[in-house]
Structure 1
């Protein structure tokens, strides 16, 4: 079976969405949504301020009244993505049972669902973060580090409790986090899977990566 890959034409089929109560209203929000679609389709470096302004229906000078630079637009999108991830992961841990299997399952599930719910935001957040200058990237990188620590702490707890058998915690965390990141590259309304189906399967994959008992996979 062919593995689906990200293609620019998917942008037309995937809703340009941001988390509720996060995106600013009015022109500022319209700029963010237009930029999100353009960055996902063409890549950050290929998109000009004039092109973003044209998509919104304003002049470049008007756009600069809302954002001082293209970097600031990207920085806000990247920070929105990382804030949403952090909120989902912390809420998932708080709601799950304290056992390591339940905690890991909750983390993986929410990580995957973020990428099915907001695939364009996830693509831009993960693929364009490197384009930001250090001072603009710092807030998102701090949140990313915190999220990574949540996963590592859960894996360490599972090993300590004897329910996970994993030789290298860092590599295990990279494998688990990396497979969720790829969901945004192919998931869309034309796929034959629901978000819950994808999340449930990825939870099982993650539990296999850490060597959880077969009973935990049912």
Structure 2
């Protein structure tokens, strides 16, 4: 397995999807993609299979297409995440200072991307921020399920972060979440996280118009 080529292809294709350069229902031309990325068809296909497993692509009779989520499907994804994340956050073990500093550093990197044109790394940083929160829970199977579901909404979450004020709102929520964790305030943590999810859902709504 050409891990370097596969990893590069995953990152490049995901970025094109999040940028809107590859649109929902658009078919991926594998020969053209392989040439553009400078890799063979083998690592490219591995990358496409991984992205399909993550929910960013769909497999059809003619190959791979960019996944399209309806408003109803996105609402279902949001509902599942709401239920499961609430359970995870109810069962957190309070982290040490090293973990808190890691959360602050992730959010600091997100903050640095608020007002820049190339902000797409914020999607992966946001994933990592929330993954750390989920892994504080003792409910490891639920944590894995949330991590499986989360990428299904990536394209629409990215569009919800397309404006600087939306990215700023996410960073501000993260700051308040970190403060709640540092204070070991479980009630505030649940309330802030729920509000954060609702805000993300609302900011993604224009993607369905």
Q: TM-score, normalized by length of structure 2?
A: 0.34
